Amino acid sequence: MSGAGLAVAELIRRIAQSTGGSLSANLRGADCRVERTAPLSTAGATDLAFLANSRYRAQAAASAAGAIVLSEKDAAALFGDAAARCALVECSEPYAWFAFAAQLLAPVETLVPAIDPRAQVAAAAQVHSQARIDVGAVIDDGAQIDSNVWIGAGCFVGRDCRIGAGTRLYPGVCLMAGTVLGERCIVHSGAVLGADGFGFAPFQGRWIKIPQTGRVLVGNDVEIGANTTIDRGAMGDTVIEDGVKMDNQIQIGHNCRIGAHSVLAGCVGIAGSAVVGRGVQLGGAAMVLGHLSIADGAVISSGTLVSRTITEAGFYTGFFPLMKNRDWERNAAVLRSLEELRNRVRALESEQRGRQERKDPT
């Protein structure tokens, strides 16, 4: 599982190489071997820590970490020309460098290809010889499982699903018929992709179900959190583009499109047919109404309801500020008649204007 660690200089070399030279770093001080990552406050001699926010400089100064990745500016501010106690990795993007380093240091679970005898793989499913299907998983007719896919215990992969190379389903994931997942995706336990969208027509006081015949199409490098749900399209498909990262407990309605490299924090809900642009950031529990669109790069605060289309990037917010309950009761009472308060201000202004006109009847 775990490696014996890596020299910091070796980490620098490997990350530069894997990023085609675009993430270089400079080692300052003696090289050392690090075995894992740790926060500045608890790191020890064989740990790599990071400083990405100058507010934590004091923690970095006091840290017992074996190596710290940080910006040149923070390094200079903290240590000047003096030698630091530990190895310093100077890098223009310390947090990204740290992420790559953490991947290199993390224990690797090697995928041993095998189909567990207690999994049930339909005769008409195609499972790559280098895939792994764990106990209790069900792979239905027509499903295609590519190499290095790992299907966890008790997963359900419905008819005609396709799962791209290197994708991992943790235990208890359900992919309903026709769902397509790209390569190197990660789907956490309890996620359900491809359940019916919520489509009903009212008729004589009851609701007539509209069969949901579209699919869920997920691109490459997408991560989907635990117990998240993504509904199949009503007629067309629901589409999650490359590189999207979704946290837990998210709900994506039918026929949504989530643009590439957007990030959705926990408990987000997106109603049907909404179009979220590329590189959008949705804070926790943000909600998006149906049939809207959100411009590329927009950032939505936690707890905000997006009730209209957002046509340009920017930072948007809409939650009620926290108050002591007594203050809330008083302020909320006024809020309930805010328009009336505005009208009273208007009346005062009008009276004032009248007075000024009387004084100054030009």
> Would you give the DSSP letter of residue 172?
T
The minimum distance between CB 362 and its own copies, in angstroms, equals 18
Q: Which of 21, 110, 112, 203 binds its own copies (CB under 8 A)?
A: 203
Cα–Cα distance, 332 to 285 (Å, whole number): 22
Cα–Cα distance, 197 to 178 (Å, whole number): 14
Q: Taking the C-alpha atoms of 30, 100, 249 and 317 in order, what is their torsion angle to the nearest 10 degrees?
A: 80
In the complex with its own copies, the residue whose CB is nearer, 26 or 30, is: 26
Which residue in 128, 188, 254, 291 is the catalytic one? 254
The minimum distance between CB 246 and its own copies, in angstroms, equals 9
In the complex with its own copies, the residue whose CB is nearer, 79 or 233, is: 233
- For its own copies, which stretch binds (CB under 8 A), given 24-32, 76-84, 90-98, 123-131? 90-98
> Would you give the DSSP letter of residue 209?
E
86: contact with its own copies by CB under 8 A: no
3-class state of residue 13 by DSSP: helix
On whether the CB atoms of residues 253 and 234 are closer than 8 A, the answer is no
Q: Which of 21, 308, 360, 361 binds its own copies (CB under 8 A)?
A: 308
The minimum distance between CB 82 and its own copies, in angstroms, equals 28
In the complex with its own copies, the residue whose CB is nearer, 73 or 314, is: 314
Name residues contacting its own copies, limited to 309-348 (CB under 8 A).
Answer: 310, 314-339, 341-342, 344-345, 348
CA of residue 111 relative to chain centroid, distance = 25
Q: Which of 132, 188, 215, 257 binds its own copies (CB under 8 A)?
A: 188
182: contact with its own copies by CB under 8 A: no
253: contact with its own copies by CB under 8 A: yes
254 is catalytic: yes
80: contact with its own copies by CB under 8 A: no
The minimum distance between CB 46 and its own copies, in angstroms, equals 14
Structure tokens at 333: 């009472």
Cα–Cα distance, 272 to 267 (Å, whole number): 16
- For its own copies, which stretch binds (CB under 8 A), given 5-13, 56-64, 77-85, 300-308? 300-308
The minimum distance between CB 232 and its own copies, in angstroms, equals 10
Cα–Cα distance, 359 to 119 (Å, whole number): 91
In the complex with its own copies, the residue whose CB is nearer, 123 or 308, is: 308
Cα–Cα distance, 16 to 19 (Å, whole number): 5
3-class state of residue 58 by DSSP: helix
Sketch the per residue contact string, 139 through 178, with its own copies: x for CB under 8 A, - otherwise: -------------xxx-x-x-----------xxx-x-x--
Residues 6+ apart with CB under 8 A from 92: 71, 72
Question: Cα–Cα distances in Å, from 156 out to 37, 82, 238, 249?
Answer: 35, 58, 19, 19
Q: Which of 24, 35, 196, 313 binds its own copies (CB under 8 A)?
A: 196
Q: Which of 54, 62, 207, 357 binds its own copies (CB under 8 A)?
A: 207
The CB-based long-range contact list for 296-303 (8 Å cut-off, 24+ gap) reads: 296/259, 302/265
Sole residue written with tokens 């190596």: 67
Structure tokens at 282: 């949705």
Q: Which residues are tagged catalytic?
A: 254
